[in-house]
């Protein structure tokens, strides 16, 4: 992480209050990156002259991230919020169905991405369960983790759900290799950029941050060792690799643009 992080800076919005300055300095120290006073400099100036990788503490998003194209990347739980509302109305969610998620279960999300699946899983397993999510991209993991904290502070009903999450900046395979056997009820992967048909606006925005890994036999071997009940992968159609790796694709887990492959271990 250090080789990536040391090239980045963190600053505040131009109209920042002292509390945002304090937060920027705290996060700079925690992440081992450089704090840069804003001094009314534009985002473009900072990207062109100070660093091509820029975090910004602000009052409206909590934390935003910018690269050379000046696109603002930040966290918002729009999709997760919609899915959780459906679950509260006792409607089905495709992830919950494929993973057989229930209250009290332990869930490993190997591909945090925008955080939607992680939040939905945390809602379902509840405070008696556990959700751990890893993200290999350093800036994306920071934006989602800090964005979740900011959102929870302003939306208190969400706070217990978000506080219970464990989000780590780590390679999913390395993490699994260091897990004891049977550590989680479910191990889940969604290598989102292997699903080009689902190029949603949100995914397009974070595409520059993504680590474009693919699922391998090593991932499956470790996932089977670590999972108690199920290993689940989300994928697009036409990806023969998923079946070659031993995943079963049932009709109930097939959606219009994607499907869930399942390796069932035991119930």
User: Which CATH number fits the domain that encloses residue 129?
Assistant: 3.40.50.150
CA distance 191 to 213: 7
Give the contacts of 95 (CB within 8 A, at least 6 positions apart).
101, 117, 120, 121, 188, 234, 260
Please tell me the predicted confidence (pLDDT) of residue 206. Answer: 66
CATH for 18: 3.40.50.10480
Please tell me the predicted confidence (pLDDT) of residue 76. Answer: 87
CA distance 37 to 23: 12
Please tell me the predicted confidence (pLDDT) of residue 2. Answer: 35
Residues 37 and 127 in one domain: no
Count Cβ atoms below 10 Å from residue 204 Cβ, excluding itself.
Answer: 10
Please tell me the predicted confidence (pLDDT) of residue 71. Answer: 86
Nearest to 8 by CA among 57, 58, 62, 50: 50
Residues 130 and 257 in one domain: yes
pLDDT, tens digit, for every residue of 116-142? 999 999 999 999 999 999 999 999 999
Please tell me the predicted confidence (pLDDT) of residue 47. Answer: 94
Residues 43 and 138 in one domain: no
Residues 174 and 221 in one domain: yes
Please tell me the predicted confidence (pLDDT) of residue 1. Answer: 41
Task: Name the residue range of residue 32's domain.
Answer: 2-66
Give the contacts of 168 (CB within 8 A, at least 6 positions apart).
132, 133, 134, 135, 141, 175
Residues 154 and 247 in one domain: yes
Residues 226 and 177 in one domain: yes
Over residues 210-239, the mean pLDDT reads 90
Give the contacts of 203 (CB within 8 A, at least 6 positions apart).
113, 114, 192, 193
Residues 55 and 84 in one domain: no
Q: How many domains does the chain have?
A: 2
**Bridge partner residues of 168 (DSSP):** 134
pLDDT, tens digit, for every residue of 60-106? 889 999 988 778 999 988 889 999 999 999 999 999 999 999 999 99
Kindly report whether the global pTM for this prediction surpasses the value 0.85: yes
Residues 48 and 105 in one domain: no
Position 216 pLDDT exceeds 70: yes
Please tell me the predicted confidence (pLDDT) of residue 266. Answer: 73
CA distance 75 to 88: 23
């Amino acid at each position: 992480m250090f080789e990536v992080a040391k090239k980045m800076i963190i600053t505040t919005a131009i109209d920042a209050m002292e509390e945002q300055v304090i937060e920027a300095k705290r996060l700079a120290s925690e992440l081992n990156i450089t704090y840069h006073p804003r001094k009314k400099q534009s985002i473009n100036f900072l990207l062109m002259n100070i660093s091509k990788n820029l975090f910004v503490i602000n009052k409206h998003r909590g934390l935003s991230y910018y690269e050379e194209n000046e696109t603002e990347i930040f966290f918002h739980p729009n999709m997760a919020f919609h899915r959780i509302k459906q679950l509260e109305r006792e409607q089905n969610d495709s992830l919950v169905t494929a993973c057989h998620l229930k209250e009290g279960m332990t869930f490993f999300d190997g591909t945090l991405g925008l955080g939607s699946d992680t939040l939905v899983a945390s809602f379902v397993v509840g405070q008696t369960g556990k959700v751990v999510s890893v993200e290999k991209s350093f800036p994306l993991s920071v934006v989602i983790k800090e964005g979740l904290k900011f959102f929870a502070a302003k939306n208190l009903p969400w706070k217990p759900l978000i506080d219970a999450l464990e989000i780590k900046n780590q390679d999913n395979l390395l993490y699994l290799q260091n897990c004891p056997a049977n550590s989680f009820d479910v191990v889940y992967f969604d290598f989102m950029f292997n699903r080009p048909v689902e190029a949603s606006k949100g995914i397009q925005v974070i595409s520059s941050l993504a680590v474009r890994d693919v699922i391998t036999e090593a991932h499956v071997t470790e996932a089977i060792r670590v999972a108690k009940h199920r290993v689940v992968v989300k994928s697009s159609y036409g990806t023969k690799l998923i079946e070659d790796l031993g995943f079963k694709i049932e009709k109930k887990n097939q959606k219009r643009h994607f499907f869930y492959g399942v390796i069932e271990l035991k119930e």
